[in-house]
Structure 1
């Protein structure tokens, strides 16, 4: 296992790579409008709000009222787009990469909330967006989406809307194709099987990338079935799976592994799991570090510049994914790919917007200075 430190990261190589970055990326198939709220604990006599800062504080409050009711005022923080395609696409679009987003942005016309995303990416809508209510805290968020439309969405629905010829054209020159989130797509296995059988032939993408999201929503049998499908595809196209620490805890438990406080133990177990599920890459990212198990490159572990007071947390994982996808368009080493992904998400949570190329380069240099 390579435990890479930032002092070993060659920032000149990454700067040259980022400045010359190019490629075709296709993301699908969700679409969310996030209504984000903060929870008020009390109001002072001068009408100043004291917010519930941490998720555990809110959880403790709920438990303490378990035999009765509770009523807490909400303050609207923002209304924005969200979900895998929008958040990851935003990260890629801000790097001026050619990105096509296939998702649910409006049946009759694309909802105006997505218009700034439309300026950076090619949007193709196949339905109405899911509305998600989010309670946001400084250390995380509680997401409560109504997924009816997305859960009922099948491959046949998708193909009847987008059309076989248009889909073929979109995928023809794609370097990386990614579908998220598996947990919200009961027909996921059909989607990826049909794409592989009917579209990924001579002009197949160089990599498939997946984020499963809330694994616990689906059964162990369902995830094992999906791994068998992806393992077959992995023989033809290398597959990457990305998990945050909460998703990793659940996946580890399915294979009788505990998610340890020791990052090196997590790295060893990540390697163990990747060998079982049979994919080319398994990535786990946390606020403190990111680990990568690669079939060809072995293990990498790279620390993150931990942010104690993030400005935003919603979309942090998607921004990591966007950075990592961008880093897969060339021939970077594993530690270099993790460095770009870590820098992208660290910049985002501190500045509440995804970095452009120059901001990403500057963030890499800043993190190296701090952690070296």
Structure 2
């Protein structure tokens, strides 16, 4: 029995553990426009060849130095975006009752979030950011406007929903997911405020409480800011099980910040990276997930699984958020670390093939058919 069959068996046997689980996710929100860049246009609409790779785009830009360039952006779709809403959408599809707190529009929710806001009983505390997500076959370039996210603070959350309602929501939640530290300037202070003002007042929860953190590409933040934020995140372990999720670039940046000599993307390197970061921060678990595979570490060991990589995905923006949702779904169901990784890569694999968030039936079918 390989890891896929083991994960399918665990998932099938533990789905009833979802009963009674509740989730809070926040705190960002973006309106995403998914774009392809036109290389040669042959007619109207989608009748064009695209700039396929980031290298192709870079060459076109470099050739314009000292001159100029006119590059057409073709919009594939406009959709809700942000690490929080995408992860939350995936968790809702997986069957979790969920409350979203974030930047979806003020005083009115932006139309792109309307359906999402209704099904997550959203508390919106600011206008959303805006992202142009330029997709290529070898990655994506996301260009964002984040000005309104400066309005996200602990006091703004309390003002929007009331401190009693906030504490009640947190007290009933078995998973609290706080994502996109990079784009929210006040996020470290929000962490501090939660640790000092909210979490000490929560009663114990049957089955325990988990916290999930996603940094969201901290390259633009200083090393000192990154180290400070991670040290604050480590304090959440005093109030439950703290899990840090990292893509490969984020794992490499955290490793460099703490002088950890691990940067490879092979299975053994990823396991060592996850283990060393986890020990440095004394967290329950650290997860590192490049496109091709995913690894995690706890105090009990390290695991890595290969993912269902696809050469030409239908969409890539949000793939990492779907992995995070799948991984934490596994955690909420009580699956083994290896099975959590496997469910995570299946969430991501299903999403990039279909542009749709899967439910657990979809994931069981995906696991059965994955060769």
TM-score (norm 1): 0.92
Does residue 6 of the first structure (1) align with residue 9 of the second (2)? no
Deviation at 1:45, TM superposition (A): 6.9
From 319, 324, 345, the equivalent of 2:322 is 319
User: CA-to-partner distance for each residue in 1:102-121, whole Å, 9 max, x for gaps?
Assistant: 01111122222112323542
Deviation, structure 1 residue 212: 0.3
Gap regions ≥5 residues in structure 1 = none
* Residue 238 (structure 1) aligns with: 241
Q: 1:25 aligns with which of 23, 26, 34?
A: 23
Alpha-carbon distance in structure 1 between the residues aligned to 2:273 and 2:133? 32
Structure 1 stretch displaced more, 156-165 or 15-24: 15-24
Distance 2:43 2:276 in 1: 57
Pairs within 5 Å for 1:76-95: 76-95=75-94
- Where does residue 123 of structure 2 map in the other structure? 124
In the alignment, structure 2 segments of 5+ residues that lack a partner are none
1:268 aligned partner: 272
Report whether the alignment pairs 1:362 with 2:365: yes
Distance 2:179 2:346 in 1: 22
Partner deviation per Cα, 1:91-146 (whole Å, 9 max, x = no partner): 01112210111011111222221123235422111111111122122332211111
Deviations 1:158-209 (A, max 9, x none): 3222321221121120001011111112222221222222222324661110
Counterpart in the other structure of 1:39: 37
Aligned counterparts of 2:144 and 2:157: Cα–Cα separation in 1: 21
Provide the aligned length of Structure 1 versus Structure 2: 364
1:291 to 289, 295, 305: 295
Q: Could you tell me which residue of structure 2 aligns to residue 193 of structure 1? A: 192
| DSSP-derived class of the 1:185 partner | coil
Match for residue 309 of structure 1 among 307, 312, 322: 312
User: Who is 2:285 aligned against?
Assistant: 281
- How far residue 152 of structure 1 moved from its aligned partner, in angstroms, is 4.3
Q: Superposed, which structure 2 residues align to 1:322-341 within 5 Å?
A: 322-341=325-344
Q: Report the CA distance between 1:300 and its aligned residue.
A: 0.7
Once residues 153 and 50 of structure 1 are traced to their aligned partners in structure 2, the CA distance between those partners, rounded to angstroms, is 41
Could you say what secondary structure the match of 1:208 adopts? strand
Q: CA deviation at 1:31?
A: 0.9
Deviations 1:10-60 (A, max 9, x none): 522212323653310000111110122110001237983111112221122
TM-score by length of 2: 0.92
Say what the alpha-carbon RMSD is for the aligned residues: 2.0
The answer for the alignment partner of 1:225 in structure 2 is: 228
Q: Which moved more, 1:80-89 or 1:164-173?
A: 164-173
SS at match of 2:288: strand
